[in-house]
Amino acid sequence: MSFVSLTLETVKRDLRLELRTREAMSAMLFYALLVIVIFSFAFEAEASLTTRVGGGLLWVAFLFAGMVALDRALGREQPDNCLAGVRMSPASRSAFLAGKFASSFLMMAVTEAILLPLFAVLFNAPPTAHWGGIVGTAVLGTWALATNGTYFSAMSNYARQRSLLLPLLLLPVSVPAVIAMVQATQVYLTGEGVAHYWLKLLFGFDVIYTVLGLLLADLVLEAE
Amino acid sequence: MATNGQLPEELLRIPQPPAAKNWVRLWASITFALLLLGLYEALIGAPTEATMGIYQRIFYFHVPAAMIGFLSFFINFLASIWYLLKRSPRADALAIATAEVGLAFLSINLTTGPIWAKPVWGIWWTWDARLTLTLIIWVMYVSYIVLRQFTPSAELQPRLSAALGIFIFAAVPIDYMAIRWWRTQHPAPVILGGKNSGLDPHMYFAVLCCEIAFLALMATLVRFRYEQEIVKHWLEARRRGVLLTQGELGVTDQGPGIRS
């Protein structure tokens, strides 16, 4: 089987498992919704707040939701020692990791598609907001979180407290991506400033870490 | 460990652990003398700066600590690549030693900075480009140490941390760009900084003294930590060797004696 078909098989398998159990998606949605609701109490959600820090609020919610998906990405392989089965197959580890990346990306994207309108309503997004730009930033930003997150999810898979280790590894390395996605979203929300160099930075981050993750996939997926 | 490197078997043949030699004492003494000289130059030797006064003297520890810390992290990056290419326990020992020592030096830099900033800038901390970048690098290497502590398997530790070491290093230039676009307030570099920057010659001398002293300190600490790791590998190899022999002879009740 080729790299692409192996990747697609992994994605199909993950999505099938998710559709049957709905464990990640429902938790993600509810978790992110709670974050947004708590924010609106903590910061007095007004239109002025959204124009000042809307991008930050949105991405903190996305980040928390994404963490659930990324934790489940490899956590799903733990019961019945599934990962050992995957390791025994002659399929390339990079294709497996790429499949995990794609399925995490899809789950995060679906959650974000539901959250974005909710955010716009609850936080009174300004009418000047450029939604096309925000969606574009969300795609690039989710790509950044998913590619690093999948890799670190595999890396933390052997640890005693894997769910705790994942954010500790993912967040520091993702700081430049977080800065870029928040700034770009802020520009598109308020219509002030220039976003294109943030998007370029985000795209560069995505490409570098996708390549690095696929090249070093063997290191985190080899047998113990 | 025996599977992913030639060191344990190699060590198994040595009856004594690789003990600290006399030269270590000599080296440590030289480091101590250099540190004393650096301290003298920083506090008394160098002239007092015109506008900042005595507060500027912390600069002699602040800047070298950052430079030596970053140098240590760079060696960590090289050791990570070395480990991935050769799977040598020596590379892993060097990686862990440089990560921990680099973190110590960067902590010195991050504590002396605010102490200087409070009287000079009037604030302890600001999210300026260099401060933010240094803090992020510090946090990333903390996560490197945490990964090692959370990973129970001694076989996985070196492999996973080498991978993380490379990921962290790849983040540094991107962080640099992102943060520079984001904001800037740190004073411009005075060493190799351009036309109107520069230091009094005696100040240069003081910086150089501290720089060399910190470099010597870094080398000493890395050497100690490195040897500690090697001894750990050695003990583990011996233990396995002893267990193996006992198993072959059918001996089970013989205490932790070591063949030699």
Cα distances from B102 to residues A11, A94, B173, in angstroms, run 41, 32, 18
The string of pLDDT tens digits covering residues B36-52 is: 998 888 888 777 776 77
In chain B, % of residues over pLDDT 90: 32
A160 contact residues in B (CB cutoff 8 A): 150, 152
Asked if A204 has any chain B CB less than 8 Å from its own CB, the reply is: yes
What residues in chain B have per-residue pLDDT under 70? Answer: 1-21, 50, 183-198, 243-260
Higher-confidence residue of B23 and A133: namely A133
User: pLDDT value at position A218?
Assistant: 85
Residue B15 is predicted with a pLDDT of 52
Nearest to B147 among A151, A165, A201 (CB): A165
pLDDT digits (tens, 9 = 90+) for B213-244: 999 999 999 998 998 888 888 888 778 777 66
Residue B45 is classified by DSSP as I
pLDDT at B104: 96
pLDDT of residue A194: 81
Instruction: Give all domains of chain B, ordered by start, each with its CATH number.
Output: 7-12+23-186+197-245 (1.20.120)
Q: Is some CB atom of chain A closer than 8 A to the CB atom of B153?
A: yes
CB contacts, 8 Å: A169 with chain B: 143, 147, 164
Yes or no, beta carbons of B139 and A208 under 8 Å apart: no
The amino acid that residue B226 corresponds to is Y
What mean pLDDT comes out for the span A194-201? 87
For A13-30, the pLDDT digits (tens) are 999 988 898 888 888 999
Name the residue ranges covered by the structural domains of chain A: 3-221
Name the B residues in 75-94 with CB < 8 Å from any A CB: 84
Is the CB of B163 less than 8 angstroms away from the CB of A155? yes
pLDDT averaged over every residue in chain A: 88
Q: Which residue of A has its CA nearest to B136?
A: A172
Q: Encode pLDDT of B174-192 as tens digits.
A: 877 777 777 655 565 666 5
> What residues in B contact A180, CB-CB < 8 Å?
178
Q: Is B166 on the interface with A (CB under 8 A)?
A: yes
